[in-house]
A and B are shown apart, each in its own frame.
Chain A
Amino acid sequence: MFKNDSVSEKNTNLGLPKTKLTVFDVILIAVLLIIALLYPILSAAFLRESDSMYVEITDTGENIVYEYPLDIDKNIEIECGGHNYTVKIENGKASVAKSDCENQICVKTPPISKSGSSIVCAAGRLIVEIKSDFEEKNYADFVIQ
């Protein structure tokens, strides 16, 4: 029994992983880091359609909703709450180009391009909002154990 033990004492290799960093470890870590670095480029090529954004124009008085893709340039004439508006979609940005409301706040609002941002005209109850199929939820909020 004791003799057996002293023999196995020398035999330190039990088929377990090594206790010193090997070349394969370095290769594995390098490959993972390269995947992590390249992923944004790859996903931009494959996932473009899934995160397409669109402009949602809502007439809150009449409860009418219009939708236009953000990547096609367009001028939209809308009559809303007794006022006439021209919503301009250009270079992936939406803005209110013309309005006959009194304070012109909607025209002065800079063009919007990010999902969730909006232009509001209180006079005609008009909301121009950028929306996205790709719901950008705050996934870091998930509690993961």
Chain B
Amino acid sequence: MRISSFNNDVSGKNKFSVSRRIAVCGILTTAALMLSYIEILIPPFIMPIPGFKLGLANIVTVYAVFCISDIDGAAISFCRILISSLLFGGVMSFLFSVSGAAMSFLVILLFKYILKGRFSWIGVSVASATAHNIGQLISAIFTVGIGVASYLPWLILAAVISGIFTGIILCFLMKKSFFKSINRELHKTG
């Protein structure tokens, strides 16, 4: 499937126009928001580890940073957290999520620029999920106390499970010709 009109700017140049950029970011933010809503719908008691979450919104963040741009990925992630905290959470959940997302973002950048070409989507999402959980743990240490650090092994285990899950979804999506063509278009325009 070709998306021939995807890159046809008004000016006719091969440029990722501002309005198109806003539109793409908006769509991805909405997708991320829906994914975090779906996560809330999953009852917590079927989770094997307390506090475990699938981190489905991580799919969107990883995709946006790799395929669109760093700053857009950060913006999508931040907007998603802001809206989801306003709708479903509170101040605490906002602070926790921001510290997690910041760590996760830095690790995704590490994989994008320094460790590129070695890992698959699975490795990237496992690393970013782990970084997210560690970021949350750091803010928990500041708010609750050093005792929370003993929760680290469970958080790493949860991150590995959820990272493999979201990584498989990303691998599956990126094999689709739809995303392949979008990625090519985005890549050309930089």
Contact = CB atoms under 8 A, between A and B. Distances in A.
B156 A137 contact: no
Contact of B151 (A29, A50, A139, A143): A139
Interface in A9-24: 9, 12, 14-22, 24
B48 interface: no
Contacts of A35: 153, 156
Interface in A99-116: none
Nearest to B152: A39
- Which among A29, A40, A137 has the highest number of chain B CB atoms within 10 Å? A29
B146 interface: yes
Interface residues of A, number: 38
Nearest to B127: A28
B182 to A, nearest CB: 11
Nearest to A24: B118
Contacts of A134: 145-147
A144 B147 contact: no
A16 B64 CA distance: 12
Interface string B86-126: 00111011101100100000000001000111111111101
Interface of A: 5, 8-9, 12, 14-22, 24-25, 28-29, 32-33, 35-37, 39-40, 43, 47, 50-51, 134-137, 139-140, 142-145
